[in-house]
Structure 1
Amino acid sequence: MTDAHSSAAGPATILVDADACPVKEEIYRVAARFGAQVRVVSNSLFRVPVNEQVQRVVVSDGFDAADDWIAAAAGPRTVVVTADILLAERCLKAGARVLAHNGKPFDAASIGSAVATRAIMEDLRAGMDGPLGASGGGPLPFSKTDRSRFLQALDRVLTALR
């Protein structure tokens, strides 16, 4: 297996938090164009392209096992694709670039407020009674605009890592 911390001369590695990732196909296409390695990390099997640049990494179904694997592999030559704010924070601390599925970058300037907002929303949901309970709300539906924004953002990050 290629180490996600390969040297600056080597290809970048894209680590995909795959369980709820709606842009896996886009990641494969962009990675092929840039010669980047892709690690599709999940708790269950996913179909991945038959391609030496793409590897499926199936971890145990233990709590946060996929997040722990991704955070341990993250480094300066990696791009992490996740919607998980706490995982994004861990990967940023390891020097990785982090993108949400909608193309929004997580960075040192934005992660603190994202973590705080997540905590506030978690507290609000925990305090709700009635039919919405802890599952009320949620993210907006994924759109074509989100997909396009993600493609542009991934292209920019991989260009910067070249």
Structure 2
Amino acid sequence: MKLWIDADACPRIIKEIVFRASERLQVPVCLVANKSMAKAHSRLVTSVLVEEGPDAADDHIAENAAPEDLVITADIPLAARIVAKGGVALDPRGELYTEDNVGDRLSMRDLMQELRGAGLVQGGPAQFSLTDRQRFASSLDRMLTRMLRERL
């Protein structure tokens, strides 16, 4: 089991929560980004720097993550790819992507992208809050507990 982080847009506080969980449970973490990252202070954390490109990090994660891994991403198309492979994906705001909801989330994302492109809607998601951080930490703990229990 490994934790994968789509690191380009992942909030720093989410990475820190994942690093603490990694140390506590001794689960390796791989950060994937297309720009240079600060070194993590743990033997369990590795980084992969991919080439520049809109989906290079997503492609790397989708190709290398196994079904028993957990992927942390806000990128809905990447989450859809992971779920289609039988994997587990978690949003940095704590929402678990599943077969039941990822299609709807992808459709809504596409609709909002079209509406923004037409100038009918402006802005993006709400600013990251303390509630989001707490929800993520709780969801991460629940998922890791379940996934580690299933491995036994």
Q: Provide the secondary structure at the position in 2 that maps to 1:139.
A: coil
Amino acid at match of 1:107: T
Q: Is 2:33 aligned against 1:47? A: no
CA RMSD after TM alignment: 1.2
Larger Rg: 1
Residue 126 of structure 2 corresponds to residue 137 of structure 1: no
Partners of 2:112 and 2:5 lie apart in 1 by: 25
Separation in structure 2 between the aligned mates of residue 101 and residue 63 of structure 1, nearest angstrom: 20
- Using the TM superposition, give the Cα deviation of residue 49 of structure 1 relative to its aligned residue in structure 2, in angstroms: 1.7
Which of the residues 112, 116, 134 maps onto 2:103? 112
Mapped to 2, the partners of 1:64 and 1:88 lie a distance apart of: 13
| Structure 2 unaligned residues grouped into runs of 5+ | none
Q: How many residues align?
A: 146
**What is the CA deviation profile of residues 58-109 of structure 1, one whole-angstrom value per residue up to 9, with x for unaligned ones?**
0001231100001011222111000000000001112211110110111111
2:5 matched to which residue of 1?
16
The Cα offsets for residues 105-135 of structure 1, whole Å up to 9 and x where unpaired, read as 1111100110110111111111117xx7xxx
Q: How far did residue 149 of structure 1 move? A: 0.6
**2-side partners of 1:146 and 1:90: how far apart?**
24
Superposed, 1:67-78 pairs within 5 Å as 67-78=58-69
Return the match for 2:83 from 92, 96, 102.
92
SS of structure 1 residue aligned to 2:52: coil
- For 1:95 and 1:101, the matched residues in 2 are separated by 20
Q: Following the alignment from structure 1 to structure 2, what is the Cα–Cα distance between the partners of residues 57 and 115?
A: 26
SS in 2 for 1:55: strand
CA distance in structure 1 between the partners assigned to 2:39 and 2:16 by the alignment: 9
Q: Distance in 2 between matches of 1:25 and 1:68?
A: 24
Q: TM (normalized to structure 2)?
A: 0.92
> How many angstroms apart in 1 are the aligned matches of 2:24 and 2:144?
10
1:24 alignment partner, SS class: helix
Structure 1: gaps (5+ residues): 1-11
Equivalent position to 2:54, from 63, 69, 72: 63
Structure 1 segments, 4+ long, off by >6 Å, are none
TM-score (norm 1): 0.86
Deviations 1:1-41 (A, max 9, x none): xxxxxxxxxxx211000011111111100111111110000
Match of 1:149 among 132, 135, 142: 135
For 2:3, the aligned partner's letter is: I
Other structure's SS at 2:79 match: helix
Distance (Å, rounded) in 2 between the aligned partners of 1:83 and 1:98: 9
